[in-house]
Amino acid sequence: MTKSKLMSENNEKDWPLWEVFYQPKNGKPYEHAGSLHASDAENALQNARDVYARRNEGIGIWVVPSDQITASTPEDMGSFFDPASDKPYRHPQFYSVPRAVKKRS
């Protein structure tokens, strides 16, 4: 096989990219672990177990095709998250309450 033929074959035949999430312990949220290439969902799940849960790091795994994820971008950062920045009344610190003192008998 010539070098150029092999390189063009690679371009057409890349396995799709999947993002891997796993649940580290019962009750915890799923975390992003990284990505991997696999030809289909079943292989993606098995590969994810072999690569990202090799030492029981996770008790549950999700795999998602990378192009199915919609993400905010850093350019959005300002205006997209802005509505939350000037609403201090959403936080408990905004409120003053009397200190309830426990009665001592």
With respect to another protein, which residue has the nearer C-beta, 79 or 96?
A: 79
Of 51 and 59, nearer to another protein (C-beta) is: 51
Angle at 45 between CA 34 and CA 8, to 5 degrees: 70
Concatenating the DSSP letter of every residue in 25-78 gives: STTSPPEEEEEEE-SSHHHHHHHHHHHHSTTS--SEEEEEEGGG-----TTTHH
Binding another protein (rule: CB under 8 A), the pick from 15, 46, 67, 82 is 15
Closest by CA position to 51, among listed 36, 69, 29 = 36
Nearer to another protein, 15 or 60 (CB): 15
- Between 11 and 93, whose beta carbon lies closer to another protein? 11
Question: Helix, strand, or coil here: 19?
Answer: strand
Q: Which positions from 24 through 83 interact with another protein, judged by CB under 8 A?
A: 34-37, 39-40, 43, 50-51, 54-55, 71, 73-74
- State the residues that interact with another protein by CB under 8 A: 1, 3, 6-7, 9-11, 13-15, 17, 34-37, 39-40, 43, 50-51, 54-55, 71, 73-74
